Structure 1
Amino acid sequence: MAPSKLPSDSSQAAQDAVSRYEVSEQIGHLLRKAYQRHLAIFSQTIADPQLTAVQFAVLSASRRLGPSSMSDLGKATAIDAATVRGIIERLRARELIELQTNPDDRRKVTVQLTQAGESLVEQVTPTALRISELTMGELNEAERVAVLYLLRKLSATEPE
């Protein structure tokens, strides 16, 4: 067996980084905690106990886009295709959205709000705005602008 080598500078740097790493100070952890806080505020504040934050996002995007594909709703809400399908099925079961098959291409389905869905979005949107305010809590106006700017920049699909 060969004698072990002394750690190289890069190896020592890696070991130092590992010893200093604190998961609770990492961006992913902090974003997750902030999102969990937002979801808790949403569930405590929203009038409809069956409505989740992601369901509201899909309903709101559907209202803004009008009749659209599941793919377009997924893109607008940053929800993957499989998840958006499940959300749409749950909203359809509640008769908040309806699906229409394209007569020219039966493989294409259009999603649109029902009157009940439209009414729910109109009713809940002011509360959703309040939930955003509550999520930002004690941040002053400059901090609110900064955090939204930075989150948009971090979530950009293409690097700047």
Structure 2
Amino acid sequence: MDYSNTSTALQESGNAATDYDVSAQVGHLLRKAYQRHLAIFGQTIGDPKLTSVQFAVLSASLRLGPSSMSDLGKATAIDAATVRGIIERLRTRELIELTTNLDDRRKSAVVLTDQGRRLVEDTTPAAQRVSDLTMNDLNDVERVAVLFLLRKLCAAESS
């Protein structure tokens, strides 16, 4: 196969592979912002055993009340297999319990324990501070814009 024409075409138009800067790509920037957010979470939240996804599940459980694992997964954008593991770890810490669903005895409902409820209530102000610290370098208009654009990106996936 003759690659001479391909080589000439790449020289004229630039080489997409060598011109591609991963550090300027949306996925890379989102990942770095998320890594920063997770570091701030770990430093701020006050419970070294609590991860951000565990807090998300606990917080959603408080907001939703007794819920199925599926509903908690949807509310937190966590896949079913991962949410099951998170719930098991939270159950081991006695922050949640599984009860029989009264509407369908084959299903379980995830319920916060009193200890879990206290943890969410005590930790929520720190979680709000994590969001503030994550966007600390942004002014009020930029914060609104970032949240608007992230919501718009998330809505695009459900379309």
TM-score, normalization by structure 2:
0.91
The 1:13/1:102 distance shift into structure 2, 3 A limit, reads farther
The corresponding residue for 2:150 is 151
The corresponding residue for 2:113 is 114
The corresponding residue for 2:55 is 56
Q: Deviations over 1:37-82 (max 9, x none)?
A: 0000000111111111000000000001110100000000000000
Identity of aligned residues (%): 69
Unaligned runs of 5+ in 1: none
Count residues in correspondence: 158
The 1:93/1:12 distance shift into structure 2, 3 A limit, reads same
The corresponding residue for 1:22 is 21
1:50 is paired with a residue whose SS is coil
TM-score, normalization by structure 1:
0.90
Unaligned runs of 5+ in 2: none
Q: CA RMSD in A?
A: 2.0
The corresponding residue for 1:91 is 90
CA distance in structure 2 between the partners assigned to 1:100 and 1:11 by the alignment: 63
1:137 Cα deviation after fit:
1.6
Tell me which protein shows more helix as a share of its residues: 2
| Moved >3 Å (runs of 4+) | 2-5, 8-15, 103-106
CA distance in structure 2 between the partners assigned to 1:18 and 1:58 by the alignment: 40
The corresponding residue for 2:125 is 126
